[in-house]
Amino acid sequence: MRDTFNKMIGRTRYVVCRLFIHLAGSEISPILGELNRVAREAIDVEGDLQVLGEGLVELCETLLRYDEYWLSAANEGDVFWSEGEAGDYVNTLFNDSAERYGADLELDPADVNQPLSLPTTRNIVVMITVAYEGEVPDLETDLANIQELKGGLRALISLHYNHKLRAVQVHFSPARLGDELTNDQLLQYYPELIPL
């Protein structure tokens, strides 16, 4: 009822959503390189939404190419009729994602004198948070199955090309090659993941 009323009076509908995608397998390490490249570009442009959107498109296309490695996923979000409230929720999700992805995954400085050997990354969790204007049914549904998740990633790509994105954030764990996200850490830091 509230949605209908707000639409009738011409208020802008903002949606903030976060997708979690867990990839697993011995062949997923190249994704970390792509994630780090996109992250460096995002830092370099200091929030330019056009460049962030292009990075999001590249990331979604990469994830779609690696769909055979998807193991679990989850999504959450909310609808707002105030840009300020939507912005507050984006910040809340940003802080939550940042606290998860960096926790307990740093290399120990004491290991500097040890022979160099990097463990193979077998688990990666990608967290994508976006804010957009309007309605996108492909994102406003349960994405914990493969076909719906593919539709959701394609919808993110369309949001960029339709100039509807208002915020883009990407976090991932492990944050760099050589770090490892264990199965126990997956359960501890990402309890909402649902097997696909």
Q: What is the pLDDT of residues 45-95, one digit of tens each?
A: 877 899 999 999 999 999 999 999 999 999 999 999 999 999 999 999 999
Give the tokens for residue 148. 């719906």
Per the structure, how many domains does the chain have?
Answer: 1
Query: Which residue range is the domain that position 140 belongs to?
Result: 13-103+120-188
Would residue 108 count as lying in a domain? no
Would residue 7 count as lying in a domain? no
The Cα angle at residue 175 between residues 157 and 33, in degrees rounded to 5: 60
Would residue 112 count as lying in a domain? no
Would residue 32 count as lying in a domain? yes
Would residue 2 count as lying in a domain? no
Mean pLDDT in residue range 24-30: 87
The lowest-confidence range among 61-70, 96-105, 140-149, 174-183 is 96-105
Would residue 140 count as lying in a domain? yes
Would residue 3 count as lying in a domain? no
Would residue 194 count as lying in a domain? no
Whether the pLDDT of residue 104 is over 50: the answer is no
pLDDT band at residue 4 under the 50/70/90 scheme: low
pTM: 0.85
Burial of 53 (0-12, 13-18, 19+ CB in 10 A): buried
pLDDT in tens, 149-164: 999 999 999 999 999 9
